[in-house]
Copies of this chain bind each other. A is one copy, B any other.
């Protein structure tokens, strides 16, 4: 397979830098071809602004989705964004690697999403009708490709468990896994997460690296997160609400952390 790894850490000598090297070596050992978008090293521009849409006349009000769609259709997006599109279309699998900062990705990686996910490329794709609400959540430009997160955090695994104060890690990553990867069509694999990385000794690093190698070795075969397809019949259109009868009693969500009568205690 062709694999694109998007790397978002400012220090190449960091644990993240070491894990990136582990991942690349493990993928290449499997015969995959790997490219890396190192956002810090490449000086990635994080902010969506007028400079992204050179076709926009100076006196015209910037409407981001409209300007993005026009620039994409005209092939007029900036070169850095077009390069990322080429890499995404080339890759059979995408890996986003980042340290969890304030419970989500660093700004520079969010800026990669905000700028690379152009209208017409990652959203605004496909027909809207009574039974099809655009090609998204299971369909789209990147359908048929795999994606996964590689995340490090200083916090403890217990703090990210079902009843942990931070909220369950799968819920915290849902806006990324479902809203950013599944949305334009990716088949999303369970994330790789390394906890308490600030205190990692040599033996601890070896364990984390071994776990990561195993995930890289099984990149093509790991069972994905079974998200429901938007246009597959499970959701009503246009309300996009899950059909009555689907999704029974499930694990408690973030409401666990609310005190008082509504919380059931």
Complex Cα spacing A198 to B247, Å: 31
Judge whether A117 and B102 touch: CB under 8 Å: yes
Look across to chain B and name the residue whose beta carbon is closest to the beta carbon of A264: B248
Does A203 belong to the interface (CB within 8 Å)? no
Does A250 belong to the interface (CB within 8 Å)? yes
Does A252 belong to the interface (CB within 8 Å)? yes
Complex Cα spacing A166 to B50, Å: 28
Report which of B62, B108, B174, B258 forms a contact with A254, defined as CB distance below 8 A: B174
Complex Cα spacing A232 to B91, Å: 49
Tell me, rounded to whole Å, the shortest Cβ–Cβ distance linking A88 to chain B.
15
Given contacts A10-B49, A257-B227, contact A247 B252 (CB under 8 A): yes
Does A84 belong to the interface (CB within 8 Å)? no
Which of A28-36, A143-151, A152-160 lies at the interface with chain B?
A152-160
Interface centre among A102, A198, A264 (most CB of B within 10 A): A102
Complex Cα spacing A11 to B66, Å: 13
Given contacts A165-B242, A226-B258, A257-B228, contact A250 B264 (CB under 8 A): yes
Judge whether A242 and B254 touch: CB under 8 Å: no
Tell me, rounded to whole Å, the shortest Cβ–Cβ distance linking A170 to chain B.
7
Main secondary structure of the interface of A (DSSP, over half): loop
Given contacts A50-B10, A246-B263, A250-B255, contact A240 B158 (CB under 8 A): yes
Contact with B along A68-110 (1 / 0, CB 8 A): 0000000000000000000000000000000101111111101
Report which of B40, B174, B256 forms a contact with A167, defined as CB distance below 8 A: B174
Report which of B47, B163, B247, B255 forms a contact with A263, defined as CB distance below 8 A: B247
Tell me, rounded to whole Å, the shortest Cβ–Cβ distance linking A249 to chain B.
6
Given contacts A110-B106, A167-B178, contact A14 B263 (CB under 8 A): no
Judge whether B106 and A235 touch: CB under 8 Å: no
Residues of B within 8 A of A7 (CB): none
Look across to chain B and name the residue whose beta carbon is closest to the beta carbon of A154: B65
Judge whether A242 and B256 touch: CB under 8 Å: yes
Residues of B within 8 A of A256 (CB): 242, 247, 250
Complex Cα spacing A242 to B158, Å: 11
Residues of B within 8 A of A154 (CB): 65
Residues of B within 8 A of A238 (CB): 156, 158
Report which of B62, B105, B239, B263 forms a contact with A248, defined as CB distance below 8 A: B263
Residues of B within 8 A of A44 (CB): 47
List the 3 closest A-B pairs by CB distance, nearest first.
A248-B264, A253-B253, A107-B111
